[in-house]
Amino acid sequence: MSKFTALGLDENILKAITDMGFETPSEVQEKAIPILLEKDTDMVALAQTGTGKTAAFGFPMLQKINVGSRTTQGLILSPTRELCLQITNEIKNYGKYYKGLNVVAIYGGASITDQARNIKKGAQIIVATPGRMKDMIGRRMIDISKIEYCVLDEADEMLNMGFYEDITEILSHSPKDKSTWLFSATMPREVSAIAKKFMFEPVEITVGGKNMGAENVSHEYYLVNARDRYQALKRLADANPSIFSVIFCRTKRDTQKVAELLIEDGYSAAALHGDLSQNQRDLVMKSFRNRQIQMLVATDVAARGIDVENITHVINYQLPDEIETYTHRSGRTGRAGKTGISMVIVSKSERRKIHTIEKMIQKKFVAKDVPSGMAICEVQLFHLANKIKETEINHEIDAYLPNINEVLEEFSKEELIKKVFSVEFTRFYNYYKKSKDLNASVGDTSEGGSEDSVRYFINVGEKDDFDWMTLKDFLKEMLQLEKDDLYKVDVKESFSFFNTDTKHQELVMNFFKDFELEGRRVSVEISKDTGRGRRGGRDRGRGGDRDRGGSRGGFKKRSGGRRDDRRSDGGGRDDRRRDDRRGDGEKREGGRSGGRKEGSRDGDNSGFKGRSRRKSDRPNNSGTGGRRRRN
Ligand code: ADP
Ligand code: MG
């Protein structure tokens, strides 16, 4: 059986674990579960986001409560409505083989009488936001005088949101001898204080360094002038056609504004923040989980703890005021063993914050250049090529084919390809042809200029299990070049770019003239984009946007056979089967819970406009990466 057996979990939970496809316990699970199962103790567990904390407290709680009884025995407090529902679903799922289990979610903004009715039926476990919970205890709708286990999840955030008093009030109605388990990603002073106040000799568990971000997230920053922030954001999106991302802004207003701009520009984006009605937020989260939205623009509070599968990028449109928040932001990606990228758009005045964050997360940022317009056109074209290649033919069109063929009769295959691609290319090209270099220079510009450097296109990428380091090693070995001879290695889904000095051009081109890798032809061409900017990954500010000529003879490059939207799992690692949490779990709560009720406001200022896209002179993604396939 699975490695979970060793933790002492019972048959019901093990069966659910198998169903969910979890194979090995995460570190926090390995450390917390045996202790919590074995004794009744308080616990403080600190672990990075996305490390499976819900199961770390959920499994033991389920196993320890008595499902035969209808008394409320477990209480889980969490900061937002969204998280509350997420945890409820998760716990229900973990406990699906326990007959008679009743888990009830309690949160603001929904009918209190419905919730009270559900409680009355006998809820062994209640998952609640503090505001509504306090309210219902006050109205004697909930009795927690017999609970044995209390979890404070995302404790730091609950305190941030000013729930200290509510929590104190709630816990004053609970028995003194219960066990309290506190779970948090960070341990600010307030959390230690709460631990002292509410707990007795808690067992402490720390996984990874405190405040360190998830391990499989890489961090990049893009230095721009503050006024170019939005343009930079668009380029980052355009250069990553399969992007599925959360974009963080500092204020609700900026969040709303950026989302609106993106929508106007034809992206599938939406805003998520506390000024939206519950209904709007539900709609947005649902669309995001369904991947109808590619870019969720959110405030920190609104997106806290959100667990959506396969988020490829987190983009910090602005850096947060408190750097600890950065960990939470970047933790939205790189979850459950997947890889992710956290990007920061940074202005000169904020740049030193990057170093502070580096110290905190104990990881280095890579200074990257905002891609040039031509680089984006190129990416989009190859994305389209891949997409065409992978598209399954829809035979519903068969009936129309004779007529379509007639219209296109006069064109050869070559010509047709050129035309199809021109549709896409011209759109991006027209938009980007006059685009400027958005990279702010730091002063230490020019070290050679692009004349000395050649950028290449190579038709291998992430789907061949390359990342920039392994591709660099591979090229280094093949070409017998030194580490510094190869730079600006930039790996995309099914192709990549790299640079060498011009003096190596002949060597590179000759080497790849007839090259095969595992039976597949690997070809290298000179790229139009010079890959301006830093060399060797750190220094920046080379020459301008120059066309390096070197015709690439149409865009007929072949690429490997696999799907193109694998970026999120780093190219073929495990494909855990997981519960599809769509359904009723997409609601959230913004700001304080119980107190503020915001019925459903009319008018749609959620920034979510469903599938319609406005036409604009700007390129939109509909042709290329617009709507991602679910995988
Ligand atoms: P945290 O609360 O630490 O941020 P979650 O409890 O939300 O993390 O878990 C993150 C994701 O990882 C969830 O989708 C969860 O289903 C999944 N997960 C949890 N434990 C495991 C495991 N042992 N193996 C695989 N996936 C897991
Ligand atoms: Mg969590």
- The answer on 423 and 549 residing in a single domain is no
For the Cβ of 335 lying below 6 angstroms from any atom of ligand 1, the answer is yes
- The answer on 325 and 268 residing in a single domain is yes
Q: How far is the CA of 146 from the centre of ligand 1 (A)?
A: 29
Q: Mark the residues whose beta carbon lies below 5 A from ion ligand 2.
A: 53, 305
- The answer on 55 and 164 residing in a single domain is yes
- The answer on 270 and 158 residing in a single domain is no
Q: How far is the CA of 184 from the centre of ligand 1 (A)?
A: 14
Range of the domain at 294: 217-372
Residues of the chain with pLDDT under 50: 1, 209-212, 444-449, 534-631
Q: Whose CA is nearest to atom 22 of ligand 1?
A: 22
Q: How far is the CA of 152 from the centre of ligand 1 (A)?
A: 17
How many CB atoms lie under 10 A from the CB of residue 1?
9
Distance separating alpha carbons of residues 113 and 63, to the nearest angstrom:
29
Q: Domain for residue 577, yes or no?
A: no
For the Cβ of 25 lying below 6 angstroms from any atom of ligand 1, the answer is yes
Ligand 1 pocket test, pick from 51, 87, 330 with the greatest ligand atom count within 8 Å of Cβ, gives 51
Q: Domain for residue 581, yes or no?
A: no
Q: Domain for residue 412, yes or no?
A: yes
For the Cβ of 289 lying below 6 angstroms from any atom of ligand 1, the answer is no
**In terms of Cα–Cα distance, which of 89, 131, 124 is closest to 106?**
131
For the Cβ of 336 lying below 6 angstroms from any atom of ligand 1, the answer is yes
Ligand 1, atom nearest to 23 Cα: 24
- The answer on 406 and 356 residing in a single domain is no
Q: How far is the CA of 304 from the centre of ligand 2 (A)?
A: 9
Strands (DSSP E) contained in 421-466 are 453-458
CA distances 310 to 148, 322, 331, 589, 601, Å, are 36, 26, 12, 23, 31
CATH number at residue 561: 3.30.70.330
Q: How far is CA 33 from the centre of its chain?
A: 27
Q: Whose CA is nearest to atom 2 of ligand 1?
A: 53
Q: Whose CA is nearest to atom 10 of ligand 1?
A: 50
For the Cβ of 329 lying below 6 angstroms from any atom of ligand 1, the answer is no
pLDDT at 336: 66
CA distances 596 to 83, 107, 277, 591, 592, Å, are 17, 11, 11, 8, 7
Q: Domain for residue 439, yes or no?
A: no
User: Of 181, 206, 231, which residue sits at a domain end?
Assistant: 206
Distance separating alpha carbons of residues 246 and 298, to the nearest angstrom:
7
- The answer on 232 and 348 residing in a single domain is yes
Q: Provide the residue type at 98 as one letter.
A: Y
- The answer on 456 and 335 residing in a single domain is no
pLDDT digits (tens, 9 = 90+) for 81-131: 888 999 999 999 999 999 999 999 999 988 999 999 999 999 999 999 999
pLDDT at 425: 80
pLDDT at 531: 60
Q: How far is the CA of 48 from the centre of ligand 2 (A)?
A: 9
User: Of 187, 206, 225, which residue sits at a domain end?
Assistant: 206
